[in-house]
């Protein structure tokens, strides 16, 4: 894996390519147990001060794309509160250490986003600990592969929507009264919003909902000087995939179906979150940015 994000190299061979070993994990899965271990920019991301003294709440900040965003934000000068499930504490501890190593404040807030009361508590605690919030980054999500609609239970459908859509609504609603002018909200959709897989019948529509929700919210809050944008990743190498988000047969060849013929690494997604959080993107709101390995969005 690359040790320098600015080094020119062939993107096709920059990171590991399939085939990968089967590696089933219980939900929610841990980064440390993946083979190969994902790159979140731990050694490669170099900050340039673009988020100096900003205050960010990142859901799903223990692993995957959320972890990469949290590391990048800290190296750009921001203080960070991360949310994660209690079962993910070991991954979260690593992120907290990385944030603190940059001399930034790190706040760990475990809890289940399917609870409206917890989502409200999450925002209030993050704001209290950080001394405010001006960046809200919603990354946490639930994904479970199911082959047939006959096997898709109402319970799973409900849990997926509550984690991916309801939590987004609850957290945004709680955070908006606290966000000052110049703040940014960055939500995380997926290529599944545009090219849904047959086995992700509950997950894909949540990502379509996130796109529509974000576009509508961007129009509502722009008069307050707040921007809302969306990142839509393609196949990324995260515990979401190995802990039931895909079948183990798909995990073995994960990413081979896109033009890059490999999955993205979380470190490759972090720079777009930094850009959308920073003042460099001041004229951009209500947009969706694909990071898809060549599977272009419409």
Nearest 5 degrees, angle CA 48-CA 229-CA 179?
Answer: 80
Show Cβ contacts of residue 196 under 8 Å, excluding neighbours closer than 6 positions: 204, 205
Give catalytic status of residue 194 as yes or no.
Answer: no
Q: Which residues is 249 bridged to in the sheet?
A: none
Q: How far apart are CA 50 and CA 230, in angstroms?
A: 19
Given 15, 84, 194, 203, which residue is catalytic? 203
| Distance between CA atoms of residues 242 and 70, nearest Å | 22
Which of 238, 295, 230, 229 is CA-nearest to residue 266?
238
- Cβ(271)–Cβ(5) below 8 Å: yes
Dihedral sign for Cα atoms in the order 92, 96, 99, 101: negative
Beta strand ranges found along the chain (DSSP E): 55-59, 79-84, 106-110, 135-138, 184-188, 227-233, 288-291
What are the catalytic residues?
203
């Amino acid at each position: 894996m690359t040790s320098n994000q600015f080094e020119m190299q062939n993107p096709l061979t920059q990171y590991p390519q399939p085939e990968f070993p089967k590696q089933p994990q219980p939900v929610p899965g841990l980064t440390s147990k993946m083979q190969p271990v994902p790159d979140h920019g731990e050694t490669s991301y170099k900050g340039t001060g673009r988020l100096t003294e900003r205050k960010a709440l990142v859901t799903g900040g223990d692993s995957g794309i959320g972890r990469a965003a949290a590391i990048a934000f800290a190296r750009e000068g921001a203080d960070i509160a991360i949310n994660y499930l209690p079962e993910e504490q070991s991954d979260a501890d690593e992120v907290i250490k990385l944030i603190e190593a940059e001399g930034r404040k790190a706040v760990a807030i475990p809890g289940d986003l399917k609870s409206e009361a917890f989502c409200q508590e999450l925002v209030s605690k993050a704001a209290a600990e950080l001394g405010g919030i001006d960046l809200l980054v919603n990354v946490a999500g639930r994904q479970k592969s199911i082959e047939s609609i006959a096997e898709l239970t109402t319970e799973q459908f409900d849990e997926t929507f509550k984690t991916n859509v309801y939590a987004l609504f609850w957290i945004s609603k709680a955070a908006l009264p606290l966000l000052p002018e110049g703040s940014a909200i960055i939500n995380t959709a997926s290529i599944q919003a545009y090219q849904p897989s047959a086995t992700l019948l509950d997950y894909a529509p949540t990502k379509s909902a996130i796109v529509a929700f974000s576009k509508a919210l961007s129009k509502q809050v722009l008069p307050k000087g707040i921007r809302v944008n969306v990142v839509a990743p393609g196949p990324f190498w995260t515990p979401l995939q190995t802990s039931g988000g895909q079948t183990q047969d798909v995990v073995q060849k994960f990413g081979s179906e896109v033009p890059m013929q490999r999955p993205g690494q979380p470190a490759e997604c972090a720079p777009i979150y930094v850009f959308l959080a920073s003042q460099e993107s001041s004229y951009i709101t209500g947009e969706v940015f694909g990071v898809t390995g060549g599977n272009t969005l419409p």
